[in-house]
Structure 1
Amino acid sequence: MSKPINTSKNNKSPIRYNEPNGEYDADYKPTKKDIKNFPDIQNGRSSLIQGTPVAIQQVGIHNFRLPLKYQKREGGSIELETKVTGTVSLEAHKKGINMSRIMTSFYEFKNEYVFDKLDVILSKYRDDLNSFDSKILLKFSYPMMKQSLRSGLEGYQYYESALEGHLNGNGKFKKILHFDFVYSSACPCSYELSEFARNDRNKATVTHSQRSVARISIEFDEIVWIEDLQEMCEKALHTETQVIVKREDEMAFAELNGSYLKFVEDAARLLYEQLIKDKRIKDFRIICSHQESLHSHDAVSVILPPNSSFGEDISHELWSSLIHTS
């Protein structure tokens, strides 16, 4: 039973209120009218703003996960766990946003092909939150069955990918696909020195090579399949890391590395040569990172086409994200 509590200092005029019931009420089902009367601090008056009342460029949710459907180039679809970042702009006079509306927008379209509905999703949660700009980033690992070089064995290669969308206040929609391609880079200088030592002094040597990553970012309207990007990268670089390897495959991989030696500058230009020819690609950026086995640092490069809207200045966090681990 609730008891009156005396909170006055002189104990002469007690302030009375009921102690709250500590039991969870599983049977309580609020009506729409009840919910309408609930406190809504996020949409409160501007006087509730803490700090300087200025506009916020992006506010929303990060690392919200759910399975989404993706179309495959050869037909059919695949459902992949996707990490979602969804944000909107916030005007200076507004306290905050109802972030759950971003999540519910995705669940509304969870059975649709995400490539086809990205602009619709952005428009919906932008309008639901009464904002000007909305942005989205979907991160996922896309599997492809790859065959070994000589043994004929097959295994799944997983490609780290991200689909990015931006809808601004004027209704302009931009769609970007990020794709990571992991390959081996054998150093041309090391190869020449190794050959010289073997021929000049009969010394056993090994050319240094390392796991390397190319991150391809493309802006597009007409769909460019993830399979297309993988094929462009493989055609340019030839030395993709392998899934299942027997001795004959390892020998083949050593031969491939010897046939396609490359500095990080070479890798960027070879990829550029492939992407610049594809008319579906409106703009692109290529970032290469050779995670050196000789040096204690990495070798990196960035290349853009003329008049690109992608930035050439890359943050430490982006370089660090290129390190791929099992």
Structure 2
Amino acid sequence: MKIPLKAARHALFGSVSPSVKTKPTEKEHMQDLQNTHKDFLFDVNLVGVANVKQPVQIKSTSSPVNQTTVATFSMGAQLNRYAKGTNMSRFLTALEEFNGQNQTLSLASLKDLVRSLADRLNQDMIHIHVTFPWFYSREAPTSLQSAHNHSEIEISLNYSKTLGFKTELTLACLVTTLCPCSKEISEYSAHNQRGEVKMSVELCEDFDEDKIDWKNELLVAAESNASARIHPILKRPDEKVVTEQAFENPRFVEDLVRLVAADLYEYDWVTAFKVTCQNQESIHLHDAVAKITYKK
């Protein structure tokens, strides 16, 4: 078989030669449709970009103290009814500049990014949402073999030039839960399962992230109240310890959200919180779920 040359192959599949170009190529001569001002009927609550992935640096009080991870950004602004659109590229430009400065991703640096966006877009309201996996070293209880575990982190910032910042921090982690009912009624054992605990907290105004590693604090609130922690590596003596610990600390999803809520209530830097636990049940087709929302 003789295959045509590449240009002929492209033509075969629909490619055509460029036409004569008549529209301007210089930015200053191009029409800016997004900058059109008329009455476009409605204000837009949020317009911007989503699912933007960037490598970021974060700090932790757990090992590894300095780590690079991949964060997913969503950024947006309000738009009044008399503006047709926003300048999407400015969101990406601000984020690239932020990343190019090799800044550690923190509440302080994100607030600087948000203020920069408000100025660039000449908008009073800006929203940014960031998610990323946070890694930490986890030792097995007996063998002390160490490997990396991780939790999912979310940071949401809502900024108003008149009202300031509203910050919500979220951590989701996996734990072991053992069914109290199964333990009570069974002759030999009890079923257990993997549960996801998700906590979202709002911060007090004087919260100092240099003094409090909120990631660790939320992780402790979830894991210390579960039946047992999740471990990347377990040898047989470790497995004995973990399964016996789970048997000694049975938890319904209702129990776990209440216990986690009590810890969050005691954190003086938390002003409001949401706690959800969802179990992938091992002997049921359904998941079990419980949720608490509380404002101090």
Question: Could you tell me the TM-score, scaled by structure 1's length?
Answer: 0.77
Matched, 1:222 2:208: yes
Answer with 249-258 or 103-112: which moved more.
103-112
Counterpart of 2:43?
A: 55
Matched, 1:157 2:143: no
Q: Of residues 28, 33, 36 in structure 2, which corresponds to 1:36?
A: 28
Q: Of residues 176, 181, 198 in structure 2, which corresponds to 1:189?
A: 181
User: In structure 2, what is the Cα distance between the partners aligned to 1:253 and 1:59?
Assistant: 48
User: In structure 2, what is the Cα distance between the partners aligned to 1:179 and 1:76?
Assistant: 18
User: In structure 1, what is the Cα distance between the partners aligned to 2:232 and 2:73?
Assistant: 28
User: In structure 1, what is the Cα distance between the partners aligned to 2:275 and 2:220?
Assistant: 15
Please report how far the alpha carbon of residue 19 of structure 1 lies from its aligned counterpart in structure 2 after TM superposition: 4.2
Please report how far the alpha carbon of residue 304 of structure 1 lies from its aligned counterpart in structure 2 after TM superposition: 2.4
**CA distances 1:101-143 after superposition (whole Å, capped 9, x unpaired):** 1111122222222212122211211221122211111110000
Matched, 1:72 2:55: no
User: In structure 2, what is the Cα distance between the partners aligned to 1:305 and 1:45?
Assistant: 43
Matched, 1:264 2:253: yes
Superposition misfits of 4+ residues, deviation over 6 angstroms: none
Counterpart of 1:311?
A: none
Alignment partner of 1:45: what SS?
A: coil
User: In structure 2, what is the Cα distance between the partners aligned to 1:165 and 1:238?
Assistant: 33
Equivalent residues of 1:181, 1:240 under 8 A apart: no
* Pairs aligned (count): 268
Unaligned runs of 5+ in 2: 1-17
User: In structure 2, what is the Cα distance between the partners aligned to 1:276 and 1:57?
Assistant: 32
Q: Which has the larger radius of gyration?
A: 1
User: In structure 1, what is the Cα distance between the partners aligned to 2:19 and 2:97?
Assistant: 41
User: In structure 1, what is the Cα distance between the partners aligned to 2:295 and 2:130?
Assistant: 28
Please report how far the alpha carbon of residue 55 of structure 1 lies from its aligned counterpart in structure 2 after TM superposition: 0.7
The aligned amino acid for 1:105 is: A
Counterparts of residues 38-187 of structure 1 (less than 5 Å): 38-46=30-38, 49=40, 53-73=41-61, 77-110=66-99, 111-115=102-106, 116-187=108-179
Alignment partner of 1:189: what SS?
A: helix
Matched, 1:211 2:199: no
The aligned amino acid for 1:227 is: N
Alignment partner of 1:237: what SS?
A: coil
**CA distances 1:165-224 after superposition (whole Å, capped 9, x unpaired):** 110242420121110121111110001111xxx3xxxxxx44111110110111123324
Alignment partner of 2:52: what SS?
A: strand
Matched, 1:252 2:223: no
Please report how far the alpha carbon of residue 238 of structure 1 lies from its aligned counterpart in structure 2 after TM superposition: 5.0
The aligned amino acid for 2:249 is: Y
Equivalent residues of 2:58, 2:105 under 8 A apart: yes
User: In structure 2, what is the Cα distance between the partners aligned to 1:45 and 1:20?
Assistant: 32
Higher RCO structure, 1 or 2 (CA under 8 Å, sep 6+): 2
User: In structure 2, what is the Cα distance between the partners aligned to 1:141 and 1:186?
Assistant: 26
User: In structure 1, what is the Cα distance between the partners aligned to 2:291 and 2:19?
Assistant: 64
User: In structure 2, what is the Cα distance between the partners aligned to 1:191 and 1:132?
Assistant: 56
The aligned amino acid for 1:90 is: L
The CA RMSD over aligned residues, in Å, is: 2.2
The aligned amino acid for 1:119 is: K
Alignment partner of 1:269: what SS?
A: helix
Answer with 233-242 or 154-163: which moved more.
233-242
Q: Of residues 301, 304, 309 in structure 1, which corresponds to 2:290?
A: 301
User: In structure 1, what is the Cα distance between the partners aligned to 2:115 and 2:146?
Assistant: 42
Equivalent residues of 1:208, 1:294 under 8 A apart: yes
Please report how far the alpha carbon of residue 70 of structure 1 lies from its aligned counterpart in structure 2 after TM superposition: 1.5
